[in-house]
Amino acid sequence: MGDGRPALVVLVADANPRRGSALSETLRGDSSLRVLTVPAEMALIDAVQLHAPDVVLVDMARADRDALDSIRALSQPAQERPIALFVDEDDAALMETAFDTGICSYNVVETPPRDVKPLLRAAIALYSRFRRTREELSEAQRILAERKLIDQAKRCFMKNEKTSETQAHRWLQRRAMQTSRRIAAVAEEYLAAQKKDDLS
């Protein structure tokens, strides 16, 4: 607020509370911003009417985003500063990245792009980081699940064929190569066949 301008009021509307608070924290590093969040049980439109923000950063997974589209069309007298979807036609790349990432911004209609774009960029960066973490996590979970499956198949094979673990592993490996499939798929198939045998 060094230049004497009033703080820009930013409302963060994230369906993911953890990501929402991370984004708020990031933005609070800028002292020219007053950062607010939408409580979990509050409708987006109610929060907008309550706080009259200059900028709303909206998670596109929110189902209640549709209400924001109505503000101008309904021209409700209660809404003195109508907000609208922020679009920078000269910066289509930024817009497409934002929509790709799942974030968009609604602003008081006259807000200049120079005030909005840094906020949108910060949100995009944070959303991307969260998505990467989530992807890494699910990849790790997948690898773990596969490893479990392979171990189980090996144990089963060792018991059935009275072999060592190395031999069991080789058998799975060979079978995977012969059928051009992944070891985990072979292991899964082997376990399924065993289950069928046990039932019959």
Partner 1 sequence: MNAPIRIGVLRLADSAPVIMAHRQGLFARHGLETEIVVSPSWANIADGLAWKKLDAAVIFCPLAMMTALGRRGHDAFLRPLTTISRGGNTIMLRGVNPVETIWHAGSHGRRAFDVWRSSIGRRPRIAVVHIYSTHLLILRRFLKMIDVDMESDIELVVMPPVDMIHALSEKKIDGGCVGPPWGAEAERLGVAFRVGGSSTVFPDHVEKIMVTSGGLSCSEEQAQAMTLALQEAITFCQTPHYQQDVTAALAAPLPAGGLALPAEATRSVLPGGSEQEAINFVAGALQKHDIEWIINDMVALGWLENSEQQTLMRWSASNTMASAPFIPL
CB of 42 to partner 1, least distance (A): 11
Residue type, 138: S
* Complex with partner 1: residue 22 or 60, whichever CB lies closer: 60
Query: Interface with partner 1 by CB under 8 A: which residues?
Result: 43, 45, 60-70, 73-74, 85, 87, 89, 92, 95-96, 99-100, 104
Residue type, 38: V
* Complex with partner 1: residue 85 or 156, whichever CB lies closer: 85
Can you say whether the dihedral through the CA atoms of 140, 146, 147, 148 is positive or negative? positive
CB of 12 to partner 1, least distance (A): 18
CB of 198 to partner 1, least distance (A): 28
* Complex with partner 1: residue 24 or 101, whichever CB lies closer: 101
CB of 118 to partner 1, least distance (A): 19
CB of 158 to partner 1, least distance (A): 35
Helices of type H across 52-182: 66-74, 92-101, 113-161, 165-178
Residue 111, both tokens? 């807000």
CB of 162 to partner 1, least distance (A): 41
* Complex with partner 1: residue 66 or 165, whichever CB lies closer: 66
Which of 176, 110, 188 lies closest to 149 in space, CA to CA?
188
Distance CA 120, CA 94 (A): 9
* Complex with partner 1: residue 16 or 167, whichever CB lies closer: 16
Residue 191, both tokens? 């376990």
CB 55 within 8 A of CB 104: no
Residue 6, both tokens? 């009033």
CB 67 within 8 A of CB 43: yes
* Complex with partner 1: residue 145 or 177, whichever CB lies closer: 145
| DSSP-assigned beta bridge partners for residue 33 | 8
The residue to which tokens 């910060």 are assigned: 122
